[in-house]
Structure 1
Amino acid sequence: MNRSNPPSADRSKSHGSDFLQLRIEEAPAGGRSEWLARQLRQAIADRRLPVGSRLPAGRVLAAELRVSRGVVTDAYQRLIEDGHAAGRGRNGTVVVAAPLPPAAPPGSSPSGPVAAPTSAALFGSPPGDDVFDAVRAVPARIDLWPGAPDLAAFPRSAWLRAERAVLADLPAAGLGYGDPRGTPELRGALAEWLARNRAIRVDPAEVLVVAGTAQTFGLLGRVLRDDGIAAVAVEDPGALGARQHLRHQGLATPPVPVDDQGVRVDALADTGAPAVLLTPAHQFPTGVVLSGARRRELMAWATGSGGLIIEDDYDAEHRYDRPPVPALRSILPEHVCHAGSVSKLLAPALRIGWVVAPPRHREALIAAKRFADLGNAALPQQVLARLMRSGALERQLRLLRTRHRRRRDAMVRAIADHLPGAVVHGAAAGLHLTITFDAAFADTDLAAAALVCGVRVQPLSWHRQRPGPPGLVLGYAASTPTDITEGLAVLGRALRRLS
């Protein structure tokens, strides 16, 4: 062995990391931290490091590059100050936004407000899936983002008891591949649930279990496109996420205006679309309930034209100050594809939903589900079925209604105190309120200004295809009354600065 040229000397010529194939010899002398920060910014910009991804632990990357830990720590801190990353304690450093052109000035630490240019850039972008994810990833002290129930109220003890009971009773065959439509136990429980709570009489064989309403839109979009349908009309304003799923399947989404009685059926007919996606029980985002007159008009449109109504039964269970309304599927089964989930009742993480399709599309939907994933995981289905049949789910719903009502009331009071010019919509039900303003400003600017101050909200304009008054969509179910009040106070100050 040549003692004058040991292996360590050979390795010193090129120290690198498998992470992004970084090679420290490319860094200029005395500028290693800036070089590393630049490499990371570029990886974030070209999405090799997407929003939400975690950077390696500083000590690990430093060891791989054979530099001091301070070099890596300083590079990470530069990303944090630019608003591109955030420190999450034991969870490490996480990418939260793509770099802005040109470089953004430093903001504050990840535990406080985010950098203003980053927030403005996020809300100024076209509202696509990546923008949703990027805004959700930005640290926020108070989160008033709509769409989530009180996740802290998830019935963990009841779920664990049901899970133990299921595992005790489940035969070995129950752990194998099952029916792609879903387990017989859950389809039966869902049929009973829909009859009790939504006035829908359906045979369990007609129920298809899916991975949330999002999968319903994806599967149904594929089926409709294969059936020669090129467009599904949507409410305007209407849920941006649903519209994105349909467009991802190659379907056009002509807008249909919504007024204080619900969707305008005359305008629907004018679009010429053979199908329409509606949220009739609690319209998103306005909160309007489809009136009896509009239901009759909708029935006439569907029966006269052979049209298909996709009923997203969003928020139907969460009502406070109004009587229940039956699902459209209960009165027009041949023309309504009914979709629901437990995402707003238990937790989105379960990824359990259902769809009841009219006969003409049922078999094609089942086939699409089979080839998508062979069916949902069986064990969570069995647990949910037991909760439904034991009455535990109704008890959970009663608990949530009480808790959500208190939080709704706190938000209404806070809006009156801090945003006296705002008009409140949809307070009688749901997990969110929509507010509109009779003023000339961009609601994306208000949402960005709120995020700078640590409050996350959603601009109403994201859910419009046509111009309309500025507004915000504010979720209240997942926040305490104290946080709601403080968040609205922040919004009030932000609005005064914009005026």
Structure 2
Amino acid sequence: MPRTWASLAPDLYLEPRGKRRRAGLEQALREAVRSGRLGPGTALPSSRALAQELGLARNTVADAYGQLIAEGWLSARQGSGTRVADRAMPAEPAAGVSRLWPARRRTTYDLTPGTPDLAGFPRSLWLAAARRALPAAPNHELGYQDPRGLLGLRETLAQYLARVRGVRTTAERIIVCSGFAQALSLLATTLHGQGARVFAVESYGIALHRDIIRAARVRTQPLAIDSSGAIIDQLVGIGASAVLLTPGHQFPLGVSLAAERRVAALEWAQGSGGLVVEDDYDGEFRYDRTPLGALQSLAPDVVAYVGTASKSLAPGLSLAWLVAPAQLVDALVESKRVSGARTGVLEQLTMEEFIRSSAYDRHIRRSRLVYRQRRDLLVARLTQRSPGVSVTGMAAGLQAVLALGGGLRGRDEPSIRTRAHRAGLAVQGLGEYRHDPDPEAPAALVVGYGTPPDHAFAGALEALCDLLG
């Protein structure tokens, strides 16, 4: 802690009066927190006292405090004054401690894709559903369960998916999982046991998903993507037993699989005995077009459909649903049984009630409106501040692709991310999603506009525009 607060910003008095002094004070305080000079919980002087010490107007200090509170650097409570918020960086792991799952570094603004606004989780509605569901649950439902999950939730999901996504299924063909990762692992393990050795994937996707397939001793083979989605013709002759697709809204590029390619994918599966794995990761969030029905609805016997609550509610619920072709159900259930993995009964009971009471539908409608407004604001701000940046992939979902132009290439993305991190902004480069590295590909960022809470979204956009210039 400094001996005098003036040492935080010794040259502040040289700045012209007004906004530049306030901005200078804000930046000095951010740097003091980021560097650890001001640790979590450190009490700051009152706005009056700091203004006197720095020779500033009290309103300048008060406005700077207010901005930093809104950004999450500081906190203020009645009776305890203004303090440094709990933003401490995670400590380095001790010798021998695994780094395979590193703690996520905190930043001022998080625009990484793949997560909804967790502050928007409907806590009171979820709690109300749990209070109704638990007293009404039969005692036996608290015991060891069918590996497929609770029958009541599976019946409810069958009705909901038919109504909202056009999925054709019965409760017997639904397996409740702890997330998409577990569903994919069950599919890859089961298919390997049946002789699969090649699993086709889109050339852009989540690296963890490819790792899961490889962990089942199945090789991944990429399919190129263009404006009409994955190029299905590339399935011919590669010996694939399955293909993983995001047909409704490709992740991360945001294109949808064209109608003729949907048909081609199903014809390939029917003709070769292969399986299409449909990842409907954000099926609830469509903005500028008529929602596309699930691919599974066209051929339930060759498509395994997977949906989750990770984008619509929160990843921490660990709830997903795998709708399997009839001929695969028994093998998948056995794979889940021997894995020892189970999905929490209380979460299943609550989710069933949450859907049955229409609370889920109401939450989706509210969330869709919020995310659409955020997307529109992102486009408007970039158009105004960064006209050289091309924005695509936003007709649905929670992320956009920003093509940077200016001759930048994939090899430049790490340095751009480093600059962003230094400015307190978390973004991801498109190259992180490529199956095969390509340092000469045009540089782009994948920006998630669902992650920041409402109070921080405007600041996140300002930081993004400052980065892009």
Which residue of 405, 409, 415 maps to 2:376? 409
1:449 partner letter: R
Shift of 1:262: 0.8
3-state SS of paired residue (2:161):
helix
RMSD: 2.4
Show the counterpart of 1:162: 129
2:377 partner letter: A
Cα pair distance change 1:202/1:408, threshold 3 Å: same
Structure 1: 5+ residue runs without aligned partners?
A: 1-87, 100-128
Write the mapping of 1:99-498 to structure 2, written as runs, cut at 5 A: 134=102, 137-373=104-340, 375-438=342-405, 439-441=407-409, 442-466=412-436, 467=438, 468-480=441-453, 483-495=456-468
Show the counterpart of 1:35: none
Rounded to whole Å, the distance in 2 between the matches of 1:491 and 1:374 is 41
Shift of 1:485: 4.4
3-state SS of paired residue (1:95):
coil
Shift of 1:411: 1.2
Q: Is the 8 A contact 1:199 1:327 kept in 2?
A: yes
2:435 partner letter: Q
3-state SS of paired residue (1:253):
strand
**Residues 73-129 of structure 1, C-alpha deviations (whole Å, 9 max, x = no match):** xxxxxxxxxxxxxxx976977336899xxxxxxxxxxxxxxxxxxxxxxxxxxxxx9
3-state SS of paired residue (2:337):
helix
Shift of 1:495: 4.5
State, as a whole percentage, how many aligned pairs show the same letter. Answer: 38
Q: Is the 8 A contact 1:414 1:485 kept in 2?
A: no
Rounded to whole Å, the distance in 1 between the matches of 2:261 and 2:201 is 15
3-state SS of paired residue (2:198):
coil
1:434 partner letter: V
Q: Is the 8 A contact 1:96 1:138 kept in 2?
A: no
Shift of 1:454: 0.5
Rounded to whole Å, the distance in 2 between the matches of 1:486 and 1:165 is 39
Rounded to whole Å, the distance in 1 between the matches of 2:454 and 2:414 is 25
Cα pair distance change 1:328/1:440, threshold 3 Å: same
3-state SS of paired residue (1:479):
coil
Shift of 1:374: 5.3
Q: Which moved more, 1:319-328 or 1:480-489?
A: 480-489
Q: Is the 8 A contact 1:444 1:461 kept in 2?
A: no
1:238 partner letter: G
3-state SS of paired residue (2:390):
strand
Q: Is the 8 A contact 2:120 2:453 kept in 1?
A: no
Rounded to whole Å, the distance in 1 between the matches of 2:394 and 2:85 is 38
Rounded to whole Å, the distance in 2 between the matches of 1:480 and 1:169 is 35
TM-score by length of 1: 0.72
2:401 partner letter: T
Shift of 1:309: 0.5
TM-score by length of 2: 0.76
Shift of 1:417: 2.8
Cα pair distance change 1:265/1:391, threshold 3 Å: same
2:376 partner letter: D
**Residues 203-238 of structure 1, C-alpha deviations (whole Å, 9 max, x = no match):** 101100010101011111111111111111111122
Structure 2: 5+ residue runs without aligned partners?
A: 1-83
Shift of 1:130: 6.2
Rounded to whole Å, the distance in 2 between the matches of 1:460 and 1:130 is 24
Q: Is the 8 A contact 1:440 1:470 kept in 2?
A: yes
Shift of 1:297: 1.5
Shift of 1:484: 4.1
Rounded to whole Å, the distance in 1 between the matches of 2:94 and 2:399 is 29
Cα pair distance change 1:480/1:164, threshold 3 Å: closer
Write the mapping of 1:80-99 to structure 2, written as runs, cut at 5 A: 94-95=90-91
3-state SS of paired residue (1:254):
strand
Q: How many residues align?
A: 379
Rounded to whole Å, the distance in 1 between the matches of 2:94 and 2:381 is 34
Shift of 1:277: 0.3
Shift of 1:445: 1.6
Shift of 1:137: 1.4
2:243 partner letter: V
Q: Which moved more, 1:149-158 or 1:381-390?
A: 149-158
